[in-house]
Amino acid sequence: MKNRSKSLKKLLIIAAVIGFAPASFNLYAAKKVEQTSSGITITVQTSREKDAAELIDQWANDIDSVKKETSIQKKETSNTLLARLGIQDPAFKRYISTIKRTENPFYRLVPGRLVQARLTPAGKVIAVRIFRPMDVQSEEVAYFEIVSLGKSKFSHANKKTAFKSIPVGASASITSTLEESARSANIPLSVLTQVRTSLGEYFDVNKAVGEGDTYSIVYEKRELDGVDLGFGRLLAVEYRTKNKVYEAYWYGGEGLEGYYDSEGNRVEKTFMRFPCNSVVTSSFNRVRRHPITRRLRPHWGVDLAAPKGTPVYAAGDGVILHKRYQKRGYGYWLEIDHGSGYQSIYAHLSKYASGVEAGRKVKKGQLIGYVGRTGMATGPHLHYELKRNGEQINPLTAELKTDENINLKGNEDFKLAVAPLRKQIAMINKVQLAHNAEHQEGNPTN
Ligand SMILES: [Zn+2]
């Protein structure tokens, strides 16, 4: 017991040093970033401070330098940009003007793009990079680079290189909504979206998130030579309710990419729970009074309210069985056969997507039509049904089939890839637990 409380203390000291807010914290956000009022991040680098990894990097050669980063602002010209970066180098300015317009990003600066400059203390350019934007899927970062060759000479090139992916941990407790908890733990919006999507494979995130639930995540912070390239992929999430733990770990192996639980079961289901961006207005119900006929009739699907024209996607891979019109019923509707005894129906569409014909193959997530109110409908909505072996099942709660072929149980590469993420989640949980314990035992007023 004594030992335990000692180790708790230790963890709390670590926690205090990284400085997280009560109950929710982010292991990265506490890191100090120096920023000037003109939006320039300055890092002064001396030979002494470099670590071994940096020393082997070309970018960090052995003279002392100043690294500056900024984002291109609206209506920025190359003159204002160079001035903000503190570049005092007439030869560099002349060089920029000699680069062909078609390949010269300084000719038309795109607001928001990241710029990094490495300068001598006197403001002479060692190198300048303008980065292209990336998305979550990106494996490389592309940039335009101008480097000094010495004696006022320069060269330029478009480059592509792998960035450094740094796992960042955060933990949060839910007091009201998932969004609120993410805000208090400084979890970036792009990461929160991924948390929602992966948890959405397990339950209806709009409804089932409850007060007192906690979660820990690991996500990717991207860097290249010390330049912050923003946040990338959600690498792991562990979500805890009172009686259940949901987990999703990112794994990218040979031809396999996606989220798996720690045992190697694919998290991503064969079917999307929601084939369009919508709100559930009428759920699966064995006895329901029909809104138009007023007769008691079971409702074998879910009604998803969305504005007319909202895109509707195929819930899974399959073949279009029919595409029909039914005036006193489904209006424009279609049915997809997914194989293995599964079919899905989409009704009251305003129109079909082009190329949608009976017999055509569709992929999960492919656009098949648009929300409407054709047939018997009181307002624009998608009536969505999912059938298994001829019987309707509730797509919102059913244990939707996962693809047995992509189970990674016993796969050594998977185990190796996921082990460090599991460790990191366990560490974050420990800090969280220690924190909670301290609040309960030691400090009742807090
Ligand atoms: Zn309906």
pLDDT of 208 above 50: yes
Q: What is the Cα–Cα distance from 319 to 191, expressed in whole angstroms?
A: 33
- 284 Cα to the center of ligand 1, angstroms: 9
pLDDT of residue 405: 52
What is the 367 CA–ligand 1 centroid distance (Å)? 20
Q: Residues 40-64: pLDDT tens digits?
A: 555 544 333 334 344 334 444 445 7
Say how many Å lie between the CA of residue 215 and the centre of ligand 1: 35
Ligand 1 centre distance from Cα of residue 382 (Å): 7
Distance from Cα 378 to the centre of ligand 1, integer Å = 10
How many angstroms is it from 399 CA to the middle of ligand 1?
21
Cα of 179 vs centre of ligand 1, distance in Å, is 30
For residue 406, how far is its CA from the centre of ligand 1 (angstroms)? 33
Which value, to the nearest 10 degrees, does the dihedral of the CA atoms of residues 44, 47, 53, 57 take?
A: 80
| Fold assignment, 41-162 | Nuclear Transport Factor 2; Chain: A, (3.10.450)
How much distance in Å is there from the Cα of 343 to the middle of ligand 1?
16
Q: What is the 3-state secondary structure (H, E, C) of the chain?
A: CHHHHHHHHHHHHHHHHHCCCCCCEECCCCCCCCECCCCCEEEEECHHHCCHHHHCCCCCCCCCEEEEEEECCCCCCHHHHHHHHCCCCHHHHHHHHHCCHHHCCCCCCCCCCEEEEEECCCCCEEEEEEECCCCCCCCEEEEEEEEEEECCEEEEEEEEEECEEEEEEEEEECCCCHHHHHHHCCCCHHHHHHHHHHHCCCCCHHHHCCCCCEEEEEEEEEEECCEEEEEEEEEEEEEECCCCEEEEEEEECCCCEEEECCCCCECCCCCCCCCCCCEEEECCEEEEECCCCCCEEEECCEEEECCCCCEEECCCCEEEEEEEEECCCCEEEEEEEEECCEEEEEEEEEEECCCCCCCCEECCCCEEEEEECCCCCCCCEEEEEEEECCEEECCCCCCCCCCHHHCCCCCHHHHHHHHHHHHHHHHHHHHHHHHHHHHHHCCCCC
CA 337 to centroid of ligand 1, rounded, Å: 19
Q: Given a cut of 50, is residue 18 above it in pLDDT? A: no
User: Which pLDDT belongs to residue 247?
Assistant: 95
Q: Quote the ligand 1 centre to 402 CA distance (angstroms).
A: 26
Ligand 1 centroid from CA 389, angstroms: 20
Q: From ligand 1's centre to the CA of 162, what distance in Å?
A: 48
- Centroid of ligand 1 to alpha carbon of 383 (angstroms): 4
The number of angstroms, rounded, from the C-alpha of 87 to the middle of its chain's C-alpha atoms is 36
The residues of the chain that CATH labels 2.70.70.10 are 279-393
pLDDT the model gives residue 397: 76
Task: State the distance from the centre of ligand 1 to the C-alpha of 334, rounded, in angstroms.
Answer: 14
Please determine, for residue 259, whether its predicted confidence score (pLDDT) is greater than 70: yes
Residue 9: per-residue pLDDT: 44
How many angstroms separate the CA atoms of 67 and 377, rounded?
62
Q: What is the CA(370)–ligand 1 centre distance, in A?
A: 16
Say what the pLDDT of residue 369 is. 96
pTM over 0.75: no
Most confident of the ranges 168-177, 252-261, 329-338: 329-338
Centroid of ligand 1 to alpha carbon of 387 (angstroms): 14
- The CA 351 to ligand 1 mean position distance, Å, reads 17
Tokens of 128: 């300048």
User: What value does the mean pLDDT take over residues 27-34?
Assistant: 44
Distance 282 CA to ligand 1 centre (A): 7
- Tell me if 342 sits within 8 A of 401, measured CB to CB: yes
Question: Which part of the chain has CATH 3.10.450.350?
Answer: 41-162, 165-268+408-441
Is the model's pLDDT at 199 over the cut of 80? yes
CATH of domain 165-268+408-441: 3.10.450.350
Instruction: Report the distance separating Cα 400 and Cα 393, nearest Å.
Output: 10
Q: Which positions ≥6 away from 249 have C-beta within 8 Å? A: 235, 236, 259, 260, 261, 262, 418, 421, 422
Above pLDDT 90, what percent of the chain?
44
Mean pLDDT, to the nearest integer, of 197-219? Answer: 87
384 C-alpha to center of ligand 1: Å? 7
Average per-residue pLDDT in the chain?
81
Q: What superfamily in CATH does domain 279-393 come from? A: Glucose Permease (Domain IIA) (2.70.70.10)
The residue among 397, 386, 298 whose CA lies nearest residue 340 is 386
Residue 307 Cα to ligand 1 middle (Å): 15
Q: What pLDDT, in 10s, does the model give residues 70-120?
A: 999 999 999 999 999 999 999 999 999 999 999 999 998 999 999 999 999
Contact 321, 335 (CB under 8 A): yes
